[in-house]
Amino acid sequence: MLIETHGADIYSAAEKAGIKENNIIDFSSNINPLGMPESVKVAAVNSIAYSDRYPDINSRELIRGISKFENVPESWIFAANGAAEAIYRIVFCLKPKKGLVTAPAFSEYENALNMIGAQVEYYNLREESDFKIQDDILEHINFDTDIVFICNPNNPTGQLTDMEMTEKVIDSCRQAGSAVAVDECFLDFVKNKEEYSSVKFLGKYDNLIVLKAFTKIYAIPGIRLGYCISSNEQIVEKLKMSGPPWNVSSIAQASGITALKEKDYIDRTVEYIIEQRKYLIKELNRLNIKTYNSCANYILFKIQYSLDLKDEMLKKGILIRSCSNYKNLGENYYRIAVKTSEQNQIIIKALKEVIGG
Ligand SMILES: Cc1ncc(COP(=O)(O)O)c(C=O)c1O
């Protein structure tokens, strides 16, 4: 049986459409449109020469780099084979009986909780409040809650949770004896990200774990690299012991060490995303498509018609993310990534042909 996933699966899409993967433009995964920095590519290729030995089991040089980058002690960091691995390790090592997730949100929190038989409670994000977390989330946090997952900015809505709200959640969780995992995998695409990041709360709250990814901002999803940070060193130690050793390959470690030096690349990316997101939203609205306020490198939208837009777009070699399987969204919701100017013009042209306008 093949694993089914809802985004980034150009391989299944290619099989279905009878075309080659390379001929599909993937708007279903949200990867930096500027691509992998050249320096990272070189580091990855050079690391092949010493891939005949095991990688550093402790990812020492990478952890030193992350520590400087995030301005946190090395002992607070756990390096993972992508942020997805970190999500599963968090669940495996904390063994929550009950977890609270927002809905709609990235499905792997729920999948990981389901895998260990934990009960999943949903905090419903409401369209009329722009899918923003409201104070009533605090009513869902009590002594039965073992972990809360917050995605900031949220996937698939692109909505940010402000610092005050996040701290209220972390503080309520501390009082209830629960952990909080704040997933900031897309925060690197946001302007003034420090204003929203929970990294500043580490040290103050030992129930907090912040999740980060290299995969999206440095465009290395195929290499796989992420990390999490917690000032609770017992959690960090448990994370290390909650899965197989050598989880981060030599190629991933070398790529990450080099990527952390690419500061200008992040600034350029943020500006590019703002400009291109504006273009896409304007054009989608011109087509009478309702868009939701996104601060990230992807856009959630809703069409007025009953039409399998994903299928129709695939016929044109474009893969988009249907959001029909997200709780609190439905058949007419879709998500697209903000890609290069040229690719964004291609998708708008294709949408015009499919929807009319
Ligand atoms: C919100 C969010 N967190 C984590 C991940 C997993 O990222 P990675 O590819 O680094 O495992 C994804 C992947 O799409 C995501 O959307």
Of the candidates 292, 350, 297, 349, the residue with the CA atom closest to the CA atom of residue 129: 292
The CATH architecture annotation of domain 10-30+263-355 reads Alpha-Beta Complex (3.90)
Q: What separation in Å is there between the alpha carbon of 357 and the centre of ligand 1?
A: 34
Give the per-residue pLDDT at 4. Answer: 67
Composition of the chain by helix, strand, coil, percent to 5: 45, 15, 40
Q: What separation in Å is there between the alpha carbon of 214 and the centre of ligand 1?
A: 10
Q: Looking at the predicted structure, is the pLDDT value of residue 104 above 80?
A: yes
Least confident of 64-73, 144-153, 198-207, 302-311: 302-311
Give the per-residue pLDDT at 18. Answer: 78
Which of 85, 106, 224, 225 to mutate to test ligand 1, by most ligand atoms within 8 A of the CB atom? Answer: 106
Give the per-residue pLDDT at 3. Answer: 66
pLDDT over 90 percentage in the chain: 90
Of the candidates 300, 85, 76, 344, the residue with the CA atom closest to the CA atom of residue 214: 85
CB atoms within 10 A of CB 259: 26
Give the per-residue pLDDT at 322. Answer: 94
Instruction: Write out the H or E segment, with its range, that includes residue 79.
Output: strand 77-80
Domain boundaries, the chain: 10-30+263-355, 38-259
Q: What separation in Å is there between the alpha carbon of 185 and the centre of ligand 1?
A: 6
Q: What separation in Å is there between the alpha carbon of 221 and the centre of ligand 1?
A: 9
Q: What separation in Å is there between the alpha carbon of 211 and the centre of ligand 1?
A: 10
User: Residue range 259-283: average pLDDT?
Assistant: 97
Hey, whose CA ends up nearest to atom 7 of ligand 1? 83
3-state helix/strand/coil string of 156-194: CCCCCCCHHHHHHHHHHHHHHCCEEEEECCCHHHCCCHH
Q: Which residues sit with their C-beta closer than 6 Å to ligand 1?
A: 82-84, 106, 151, 155, 183, 185, 213, 215, 221, 226
State in words which class domain 38-259 has.
alpha beta
Identity of the amino acid at 204: K
Q: What separation in Å is there between the alpha carbon of 226 and the centre of ligand 1?
A: 9
Instruction: Write out the H or E segment, with its range, that includes residue 333.
Output: strand 333-337
Q: What separation in Å is there between the alpha carbon of 182 and the centre of ligand 1?
A: 12
What band does 337 get if pLDDT is binned at 50, 70 and 90?
very high
Which of 26, 28, 90, 108 to mutate to test ligand 1, by most ligand atoms within 8 A of the CB atom? Answer: 108
Q: 8-29, pLDDT tens digit by residue?
A: 677 887 777 778 877 889 999 9
Residues listed for the chain: 357
Give the per-residue pLDDT at 266. Answer: 96
Q: Looking at the predicted structure, is the pLDDT value of residue 357 above 80?
A: no
State which ligand 1 atom lies nearest to the alpha carbon of 86: 11
> Before 221, cis peptide (omega within 30)?
no
User: Residue range 283-306: average pLDDT?
Assistant: 95
pLDDT over 70 percentage in the chain: 98
Give the per-residue pLDDT at 116. Answer: 98
Which of 214, 215, 326, 336 to mutate to test ligand 1, by most ligand atoms within 8 A of the CB atom? Answer: 215
Give the per-residue pLDDT at 12. Answer: 80
For residue 182, give every residue at least 6 positions away whose Cβ sits within 8 Å of its Cβ, in sequence order, or none.
Answer: 150, 151, 152, 166, 170, 198, 208, 209, 210, 211
- How many angstroms separate the most distant Cα atoms in the chain? 57
State which ligand 1 atom lies nearest to the alpha carbon of 84: 11
CA distances from 322 to 125, 235, 336 (A): 18, 36, 9
Give the per-residue pLDDT at 5. Answer: 66
